[in-house]
Amino acid sequence: MTELPSRRLLLVHAHPDDESINNGATMARYAAEGAHVTLVTCTLGERGEVIPPELRHLTGPALGAHRRGELAAATAALGVRDVRLLGGAGRYGDSGMMGLAENADPGCFWQADVDEAAGRLAEVILEVRPQVLVTYDDHGGYGHPDHIQAHRVAMRAVDLAAERGHRVAKVYWNRVPRSVADAAFARLQDELSALPFDKSATVDDVPGVVDDERITTTVDGTAYAAAKAAAMRAHATQIEVAEPCFALSNALAQPLFTTEYYELVRGAGQPGETDLFAGLDLGEAS
């Protein structure tokens, strides 16, 4: 087996584009520094709303196939080469937004058996042996069924992998400190007239915003701002980028964060960390 780098990071996301919005700068930084970065995406986002008019004919499997290509381009921009689709392409379908009839589709990720899906993810963990795993909180950041399910599957997979001999030393949830979000939206109001968006979103539209004291770890990715923006642009069906902002299909401007924030929920760490691997003996959990 090929020897893996001493630092190994695994991120678990629901759809193509989530990785770039939430963790693009972090992924680019660690990849550039020589860490092994693995991304597991749970669905192809077949039910996403398409922004460009010329691509709105794409729906269902055709949209999923297109978004798979967007994911490949985005991760290439981030320098990430190890990209997995949980269970293989199309194994778990996009569940749509919470409360829609599509949530009941037996083939969607929301309806997946958590232990079965977690077993598939545990196989990746046992192969890659990450010391650090990043995913969403138990609300999925903003309540999307696939994000909630990704959280459940990721946390269960950590337990299953531990039972089989590999302990993930640190588990983080994606976060944004409220003070940072408030300040960014205040700046956005001043910048909005120069942007191609008529209105801004609000802090409540940003997934994972929490009170500042819950933030344990800050990753400065400003040196990788261009890589994150390029990755987000690659997801053209879902994101319109106009630095220092972006918008989703609702056309509401949001700040594009290049410093990214995390809450350590498993493992030992100290508030004020600036490195996801802080405090680890890199021979640990190897």
Look at residue 283 in the predicted model and tell me its pLDDT.
64
Give per-residue pLDDT as tens, 276-285.
Answer: 999 998 864 4
147 belongs to an annotated ligand binding site: yes
Give per-residue pLDDT as tens, 166-207.
Answer: 999 999 999 999 999 999 999 999 999 999 999 999 999 999
Pseudo-torsion of CA 8, 234, 73, 221, nearest 10°? -30
pTM score of the predicted model: 0.96
Give per-residue pLDDT as tens, 55-67.
Answer: 999 999 999 999 9
Q: Are 96 and 103 in contact (CB under 8 A)?
A: yes
15 belongs to an annotated ligand binding site: yes
Is the pLDDT assigned to residue 220 strictly greater than 60?
yes
Is the pLDDT assigned to residue 156 strictly greater than 80?
yes
* Whole-number percent of the chain with pLDDT over 70: 98
Give per-residue pLDDT as tens, 28-82.
Answer: 999 999 999 999 999 999 999 999 999 999 999 999 999 999 999 999 999 999 9
